Chain A
Amino acid sequence: MARREPQFNQQVLVDTTPMPADIPSVQEIGATSAPLTSAAYFIGDRCKAFNDDFMKCKSESNGKGEIDCLKEGRKVTRCAASVIKDINTHCLKQFTAHWECLENNNHRLWECRKPEMDLNKCVFDKLGLKKTIPGAPENQTPVHLRPTQIYASFPGPQY
């Protein structure tokens, strides 16, 4: 049956039964929304192959992807966790500055270009991961490299 979002739900059920022992377990990612948003492009850079593999598996498994693609899913989780761990080890100060800025600005990336530049530089120097926006036009400056952001609450150059 197709998945349908529940409408007007009044209560939730928390099922604390763990996964059966015959399914290999993976440690879930403990980063919350703002650090994940901040690290998203680096996760995408390092884990592109795993992510594409997982999405291909899901689109080819006729709606049973949740069960058939557990192996690929574990790889995705482990890869993302490795990126978060590496950023925490090498660029903790810039990373914290960026996600705290995001958390204070409604997770709007264009309000926080200055901490983002510092983070991008540190991550590229230490880890070799580069932020690229997929599908951006090639003959223009990508939006995250422009000093002035048209929607930002501060209208001038941010760095």
Chain B
Amino acid sequence: MGVPFEALIPYGIIITMFGVTGAGLTAVKYWSNDWKKPRWNRDLWDRVMMERDMRITGTPRGQSSNAEAPKGFEVSNPWKLEKRIF
């Protein structure tokens, strides 16, 4: 007793749609990481260094091995502000 093919159409749609979502999210993640594998399990040091990479190259994942910083780097260090409690 064969299964009618109409019964398998919903499964095909389900698999396709989950596949589209997964592929899309993967693509967006790679795109937002400059087509590199994403960083994970970052600690405070890594986050601070990525912020410094951003100030040097313009993107959080950009890398440069120059010995000298670009002009204006020495005055672009941000101070974190917090509201006064008292």
Which residues of A line the B interface, CB within 8 A? 5-19, 25, 27-36, 81-82, 84-85, 88, 95-96, 99-100, 103-107
**Considering the chains assembled together, what is the distance between the CA atoms of A81 and B68 in angstroms?**
7
Point out the residue from A6, A29, A36, A95 that lies within 8 Å of B80, measured CB to CB: A6
Kindly list chain B residues whose C-beta atoms are within 8 Å of the C-beta of A103: 36, 61, 63
CB<8 Å pairs between A and B, sample of 28: A6-B82, A7-B82, A8-B82, A10-B83, A12-B81, A14-B76, A15-B77, A27-B68, A28-B68, A28-B74, A29-B68, A29-B69, A32-B57, A32-B65, A33-B49, A33-B50, A33-B63, A35-B63, A82-B67, A88-B65, A88-B67, A99-B65, A100-B63, A103-B63, A104-B36, A104-B37, A106-B37, A106-B41
Point out the residue from A18, A35, A99 that lies within 8 Å of B75, measured CB to CB: A18
- Contacts A35-B64, A103-B63, A104-B37; A28 near B81 (Cβ below 8 A): no
Q: B57's closest neighbor in chain A, by CB?
A: A32
**Considering the chains assembled together, what is the distance between the CA atoms of A113 and B79 in angstroms?**
37
Kindly list chain B residues whose C-beta atoms are within 8 Å of the C-beta of A8: 82
Best-surrounded residue of A9, A12, A95, A103 (most CB of chain B within 10 A)? A103
Kindly list chain A residues whose C-beta atoms are within 8 Å of the C-beta of B46: 33, 107
Tell me if B70 is interfacial: C-beta within 8 Å of chain A: yes
- Contacts A6-B82, A105-B37, A106-B41; A32 near B64 (Cβ below 8 A): yes
